[in-house]
Structures are given as structure tokens and as C-alpha cells.
């Protein structure tokens, strides 16, 4: 009796100890046992989806006693943002998420958010003069038409994309087991071997031609999809191309209330210190054999700085974009080559000029999404009839002849004349000029993730492929990398043959 009573309160602790011991045996490391003190303070620069998710993951791994400061110079959410039209909000940046984007799915569950209902609509590809491809009501008929026009290309494309996605999905398993990668190339290699690494070097067109997709299919369909997703040509690398094409297969969703809610809610959940300031420099200091990073910033009240054990940069650094300078680093931190692609998002509330698209009767215009081919006659990349971020169960799309909200993506700001071609008339236009994603032809090198011992660059991943989920995959990787390195758990970094290892670990 006595023994039983005494043991009762200890039992749970015993279980925890056992779990730790088993965990350590499994990794073969003495991480926690080494007695390393946890980091005291961590800084994250940027509160987009990359920055806010890395803050969450860092806290998950290091524990809640670590102080997390997140610097944001503008709006929480970054490239996830909305504009307001008639008291309703609409996505103006990153809009849709794939159903297999498991990190984002987890966040939505964790934060108690909801998927936004998909409101059905049809797409078509416009050449500036006519539609080269139209989606019909009937799925089988669609398949038939694609088959008729393009033979095996359609199937070959699907098989190629599926194979890439299947390999990409391995990352979730690796990350769940705590494995991290010190370079983007290492991460890609562990997922798909040399083929995946090469896919960042060769174009999507080249890869598709190789698997037997025809040039005609590339010109009509692949070009249009890449213009809509990256505003670029089929010369974008095959890996980024595959991610875009996966999105074009459907199964897309968004977050009820706006995708940016994931960022703000993650920051609230972690109780991170969000500091509204522009980071101007990071300088290295050492004392007693330990490195510290001093983060210099400017806010409304002037200049300030703070010291950190670990710093994660969760914004673009190439081309001096974020104006962050690095001081006292020897060797110095190199400049990052490459430029970003500008995409203009115009949110227009108005009446579509269906005659421009060859429909004299506006009531008969059947499409809610218009993609374009690469032709001198077209002055925009894509346009979508969009729904507000809060869609009630009674929401219906407007009749095509009614005023609606359209999001037009273009390379340059639309001139009044151009707006007058697309719209018979309009009530409002709101323009956002995005430094949207890498201009993939401007640099073929993937930037490093580790800039210095405990200084990390999350957005290097964008140069493999830029998307919401890739930013979260990068965030999870950086958090694991920072944790494994802090506790010298080198077995969990850059491991080869992980597919096999994880099978035997289970
Ligand atoms: C028009 C458009 C459409 C897109 N569509 C899709 C889509 O449909 N699906 C998809 O998956 N992806 C899409 N994307 C890409 C996706 O939005 C981005 O890949 C993703 O949001 C990037 O998140 P991030 O956190 O890495 O960067 P960001 O969101 O850019 O966050 C960086 C943050 O750092 C801040 N910052 C910068 N410098 C400093 C400084 N010196 N000090 C302090 N703060 C600083 C910035 O203000 C910003 O908030 C789209 C992007 C655009 C622009
Ligand atoms: C990757 O590229 C290299 C160099 O271009 C080449 O030698 C190798 O065969 C390629 N590997 C695969 C799997 O395509
Ligand atoms: C929109 O949706 C979000 C998330 O579900 C909710 O918090 C918000 O109150 C909604 N706003 C409106 C105007 O319905
Ligand atoms: C960087 O600094 C230059 C010169 O001070 C300025 O013109 C530019 O707008 C800044 N860029 C950003 C992204 O803040
Ligand atoms: C980058 O921006 C910083 C801050 O604006 C500036 O001091 C530095 O000279 C810039 N570097 C280059 C190569 O333009
Ligand atoms: C609509 O498109 C037609 C055909 O391209 C064009 O002639 C007309 O000027 C456009 N604008 C309006 C307001 O009708």
C-alpha cells in the first residue's frame, strides 16, 4: 500500500525519463545529457509565413523559456495579404494552398482555423485573340478534348508531377523524425537524389520534353500555368515548375478569413515578441568563447539593438533587398546574386468586357479564370474572378454580366487604356506591386541556409521553389537545424539514405 502511494506521483516522471532515454538511444547522441544550456534569446527577422512558422517551431523545439523576438518592418503576413473592397477582404498575394501541403493543413487545425470553401468555376487559356483551351462542364469531355489535342502529353505530365510530389512528400516524414539539412541541395537530394538537385538547374520545358510531353502542349498549357503562378516562362527550373503544375491539378484551398491569419495566430500562440522595426544590420560579437549576434534596428523612436544567441533571417537577402548589412564577420558574408520578379496584382471591382474575349453577350461568358499564352497581344498574365476571404454557405458567384471582383496579375502596372479593354467599366482598382518570387533565370545557385554558426537564412529555399508551403518546410528545417546544432546532435543533420533509416527506426 505505502509503496504504491509513494510511487504514484513518480510514475509520470518515470515515463518521461524513459521516453528521453529511448529517444537518446535511438539517435545515439547525448544531446540533452551534455548539459548544454538552452539558448536565452532568439531573433527572427520577418513575420511572413516563413518567420511566423519558424518562431512556432523554434519554441516547440527549444521550449517556452526561450525569448523569441520577431522583427517586422511592415505587415505581419508579408506576401500573404488582403485588400478590402466593399467591406470584404480579398487575397492580393499568396492565394491558394495545395491539399497535400501538410504543414499548412496542420497549422489550420492547430489554430482552430477553417478551410475556405472552394466555389466552383471554369478556366480557359487566352491567346490575346481567342481561347486555345477551354474547360467544359463535363470532366470526361475535358479529358477527351485534351487527348484529342495533345495525345499522350496530358497523361505524361500527370505522371511526372505525381512522381515529383510523391518524393517531395518524404520531407514530412524526415522532419517528423527530427532530421534537418544544412543546405537546400542536401534536402533535395535526400528526397529525390541527383534528379531532384538537377531539377533546380534545368528548365521545366527540358524535363517535360524528355518525358515525352510535346512542344505544342508546353506552348499552350504549361506556358499558361507558369505565367499564372510565377509570371515567368517555361525556362523556370523543373523543380519550381513541378510545384506550380501540382497546383494546377486542382485540390486547392485557402484559409477562411485570409491566409495571413495563420501568421498572426502562430505569433499569438507562441507569445513571440513582435517588434515593429526595420532591421538594418547584424554584427558578430564574441565573449568567453561564445558568439552573440547584435541585431540593429530602426523604429519610429530611432535606433536600437539587442543581442541574441541565434538569429533566423526570414526575408529575401539577394540583391541587397532587405538592406541588412553584416558586420564583423570574418570571412564576410557574401552578397547574394539574383533578382526578384515583379508581379502587379490589381484587384478590380467592375464589369468584365466580354467582347474582348469574343463573347458579345456578357451573360454567356463562362469562365472565372483566364490564363494566357506568351503572345505579344496579351498584356496580362492571368485574371481570376475571386471570392472574399469569408465565404458564407449562401455565397453564390455573380452572374457573368454583373459587377464582380477580379484579380489581374501583370508584369507592369495596367494602364487606364488596358483596364478599359478588360472591363466595360469599373468602380475601383487597388494595385499591389509585389517583389513576388525569384526571377529564376537571374541566378542558378541556391543560397546557403547557414550564414554563420547560429545565423540562418530561411528564404534560401525560395530559390528551389517559392510557395507558402516551401516557406514552412524551410522554417521547420531551420528550427530543427538550429536545435540539432545547438545540442551537437550531428546524427540528425544531412543523413544519407534516410528512406531506409527511417524504416528501420520504426
Ligand atoms: C502575387 C503573389 C501570388 C502568390 N501566389 C501564391 C499561391 O497561390 N500559392 C503559394 O503557395 N504561394 C504563392 N505566392 C508565394 C508566397 O506568397 C510566398 O512564397 C510566401 O508568402 C513567402 O513568405 P515568406 O515568409 O518567406 O516571405 P515574406 O512574406 O516576404 O515575409 C518577409 C517579411 O519580412 C519583412 N522584412 C523584410 N525586410 C525586413 C527588415 N529589414 N526588417 C524587418 N522586417 C523585414 C517583410 O516586411 C515581410 O513581412 C505568391 C506570391 C505573390 C507575391
Ligand atoms: C545530373 O546532372 C549531372 C551534371 O549535369 C549529370 O552528370 C547527372 O547524370 C545528372 N543526374 C541525373 C540523375 O539526371
Ligand atoms: C472571417 O473569418 C474569420 C475566420 O473564420 C473570422 O474570425 C472572422 O470573424 C470572419 N469575418 C467576418 C466578417 O465574417
Ligand atoms: C534600401 O535602401 C535604399 C537606399 O537607402 C532604398 O532606396 C531602398 O528603398 C531600400 N530598400 C528596401 C527594400 O527597403
Ligand atoms: C546594401 O544596403 C546597405 C544599406 O542600405 C548599404 O549600406 C550597402 O552599401 C548596400 N550594398 C550594396 C552592394 O549596394
Ligand atoms: C471591349 O472590347 C472590345 C473588343 O476588343 C473593344 O473594342 C472595346 O473598346 C472594349 N472596351 C469597352 C469599354 O467596350
What confidence tens digit (pLDDT) does each residue in 267-303 have?
Answer: 999 999 999 999 999 999 998 889 999 999 999 999 9
Residue nearest atom 14 in ligand 6 by C-alpha distance: 424
Q: What is the mean pLDDT of residues 86-109?
A: 96
pLDDT, position 294: 98
Gap from CA of 321 to ligand 4 centroid (Å): 7
Continuous H helices in 169-236: 170-176, 184-198, 204-210, 215-217, 223-230
Question: Could you give the CA distance from residue 249 to residue 369 in angstroms, rounded to a whole number?
Answer: 14
> Range with the lowest mean pLDDT among 142-151, 191-200, 228-237, 248-257?
142-151
- Say whether 170 sits in a helix, a strand or coil: helix
pLDDT band of 74, cuts 50, 70, 90: very high
Ligand nearest to the CA of 257: 3
The cell for 468 is 507558402
Given a cut of 50, is residue 4 above it in pLDDT? no
Asked if pLDDT for residue 133 goes beyond 60, the answer is: yes
How many A from CA of 52 to the centre of ligand 1?
11
What is the number of other CB atoms lying within 10 angstroms of the CB of residue 287? Answer: 8
Quote the ligand 1 centre to 488 CA distance (angstroms). Answer: 32
Pocket test for ligand 3, best of 86, 256, 391 (most atoms within 8 A of CB): 256
| CB-ligand 4 contact for 325 (6 Å cutoff) | no
pLDDT for res 140: 59
Instruction: Tell me the pLDDT band of 479, cut-offs 50, 70 and 90.
Output: very high
**Global confidence as pTM:** 0.91
249 lines ligand 2 (CB under 6 A): no
Which one of the ligands is nearest to 200 CA?
A: 2
DSSP 8-state class, residue 117: P
- Count CB neighbours of 504 within 10 A: 6
327 lines ligand 5 (CB under 6 A): no
Q: What is the mean pLDDT of residues 374-397?
A: 90
Pick 129 or 33 by higher pLDDT: 129
Whether the per-residue pLDDT at 3 is higher than 60: the answer is: no
State the pLDDT at residue 35.
Answer: 58
Query: For residue 319, what pLDDT band results from cuts at 50, 70 and 90?
Result: confident
- Expressed in angstroms, the distance from the first to the final Cα of the chain is 38
CA dist 142 and 135 (Å) reads 6
Distance 470 CA to ligand 1 centre (A): 11
Mean pLDDT of 378-403: 90
Most confident of 28-37, 81-90, 243-252: 81-90
Q: Tell me the average pLDDT of the chain.
A: 90
Query: Which ligand number lies closest to the CA of residue 197?
Result: 2
Of 206, 196, 213, 198, the C-alpha closest to 233 is 206
Q: Rounded mean pLDDT of 391-407? A: 88
Over range 134-149, report the average pLDDT: 70
Beta-carbon contacts of residue 383 (< 8 Å; ≥ 6 apart): 369, 370, 406, 407, 408, 409, 422
For ligand 1, what atom is nearest to the CA of residue 96?
8
Across residues 327-332, what is the average pLDDT?
95
Segment among 247-261, 303-317, 485-499 with least mean pLDDT: 247-261
Rg (CA), the chain: 25
Give the DSSP letter of residue 309: S
Residue nearest to atom 14 of ligand 2 (CA): 195
How sure is the predictor about 1, in pLDDT bands with cuts at 50, 70 and 90?
very low
Identify the band that residue 332 occupies on the pLDDT scale cut at 50, 70 and 90.
very high
Going from the C-alpha of 86 to that of each of 82, 299, 389, the distances in angstroms are 13, 33, 13
Task: Judge whether residue 317 has pLDDT over 70.
Answer: yes
User: How far from the centroid of its chain's Cα atoms is residue 111's Cα?
Assistant: 18
Q: Whose CA is nearest to atom 4 of ligand 6?
A: 356
The pLDDT assigned to 138 comes to 66
Which residue's CA is the nearest one to ligand 2's atom 5?
A: 198
Instruction: Answer whether the bond into residue 26 is a cis peptide, omega within 30°.
Output: no
Question: Which range, of 185-189, 270-274, 308-312, 442-446, averages the lowest pLDDT?
Answer: 442-446
For the Cβ of 325 lying below 6 angstroms from any atom of ligand 5, the answer is yes
Residue 13 has a pLDDT of 35
The string of DSSP letters for 368-387 reads EEEEE-S-TT---SEEEE--
Confidence of residue 7 (pLDDT cuts 50, 70, 90): very low
Q: Return the pLDDT at 316.
A: 95
Mean pLDDT of 159-181: 97
Amino acid at each position: 500500500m505505502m509503496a504504491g502511494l509513494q510511487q504514484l506521483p513518480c510514475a509520470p516522471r518515470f515515463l518521461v525519463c524513459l521516453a528521453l532515454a529511448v529517444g537518446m538511444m535511438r539517435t545515439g547522441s547525448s544531446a540533452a545529457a551534455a548539459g548544454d544550456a538552452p539558448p536565452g534569446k532568439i531573433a527572427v527577422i520577418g513575420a511572413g509565413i516563413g518567420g511566423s512558422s519558424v518562431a512556432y517551431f523554434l519554441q516547440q523545439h527549444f521550449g517556452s523559456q526561450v525569448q523569441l523576438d520577431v522583427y517586422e518592418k511592415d505587415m505581419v503576413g508579408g506576401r500573404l495579404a488582403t485588400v478590402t473592397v466593399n467591406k470584404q477582404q480579398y487575397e492580393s498575394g499568396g492565394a491558394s494552398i495545395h491539399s497535400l501541403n501538410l504543414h499548412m493543413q496542420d497549422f489550420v487545425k492547430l489554430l482552430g482555423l477553417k478551410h475556405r470553401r472552394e466555389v466552383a468555376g471554369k478556366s480557359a487559356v487566352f491567346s490575346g485573340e481567342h481561347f486555345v483551351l477551354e474547360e467544359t462542364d463535363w470532366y470526361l469531355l475535358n479529358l477527351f478534348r485534351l487527348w484529342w489535342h495533345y495525345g499522350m502529353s496530358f497523361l505524361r505530365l500527370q505522371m511526372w508531377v505525381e512522381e515529383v510530389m510523391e518524393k517531395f512528400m518524404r520531407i514530412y516524414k524526415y522532419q517528423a523524425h527530427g532530421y534537418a539539412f544544412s543546405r537546400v541541395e542536401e534536402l533535395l537530394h535526400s528526397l529525390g537524389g541527383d534528379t531532384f538537385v538537377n531539377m533546380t538547374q534545368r528548365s521545366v520545358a527540358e524535363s517535360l520534353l524528355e518525358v515525352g510531353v510535346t512542344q505544342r502542349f508546353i506552348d499552350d498549357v504549361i506556358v499558361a500555368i507558369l505565367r499564372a503562378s510565377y509570371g515567368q516562362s517555361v525556362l523556370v527550373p523543373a523543380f519550381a515548375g513541378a510545384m506550380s503544375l501540382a497546383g494546377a491539378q486542382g485540390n486547392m484551398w485557402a484559409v477562411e478569413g485570409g491566409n495571413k491569419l495563420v501568421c498572426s495566430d502562430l505569433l499569438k500562440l507562441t507569445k513571440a515578441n513582435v517588434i515593429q522595426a526595420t532591421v538594418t544590420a547584424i554584427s558578430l560579437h564574441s565573449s568567453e568563447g561564445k558568439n552573440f549576434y547584435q541585431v540593429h534596428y530602426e523604429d519610429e523612436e530611432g535606433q536600437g539593438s539587442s543581442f541574441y544567441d541565434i538569429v533566423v533571417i526570414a526575408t529575401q537577402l539577394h540583391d541587397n533587398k532587405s538592406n541588412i548589412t553584416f558586420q564583423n564577420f570574418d570571412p564576410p558574408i557574401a552578397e547574394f546574386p539574383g533578382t526578384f520578379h515583379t508581379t502587379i496584382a490589381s484587384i478590380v471591382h467592375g464589369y468584365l468586357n466580354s467582347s474582348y474575349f469574343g463573347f458579345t453577350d456578357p451573360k454567356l461568358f463562362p469562365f472565372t479564370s483566364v490564363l494566357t499564352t506568351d503572345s505579344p497581344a496579351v498584356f496580362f498574365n492571368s485574371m481570376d474572378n475571386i471570392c472574399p476571404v469569408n465565404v458564407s454557405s449562401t455565397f453564390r458567384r455573380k452572374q457573368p454580366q454583373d459587377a464582380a471582383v477580379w484579380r489581374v496579375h501583370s508584369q507592369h502596372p495596367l494602364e487606364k487604356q488596358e483596364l478599359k479593354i478588360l472591363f466595360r467599366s469599373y468602380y475601383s482598382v487597388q494595385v499591389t506591386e509585389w517583389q513576388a518570387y525569384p526571377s529564376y533565370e537571374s541566378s542558378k545557385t541556391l543560397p546557403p541556409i547557414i550564414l554563420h554558426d547560429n545565423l540562418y537564412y530561411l528564404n534560401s529555399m525560395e530559390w528551389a521553389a517559392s510557395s507558402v508551403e516551401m516557406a514552412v518546410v524551410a522554417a521547420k528545417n531551420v528550427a530543427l537545424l538550429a536545435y540539432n546544432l545547438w545540442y551537437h546532435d550531428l546524427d540528425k543533420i544531412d543523413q544519407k539514405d534516410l528512406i531506409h533509416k527511417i524504416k528501420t527506426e520504426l
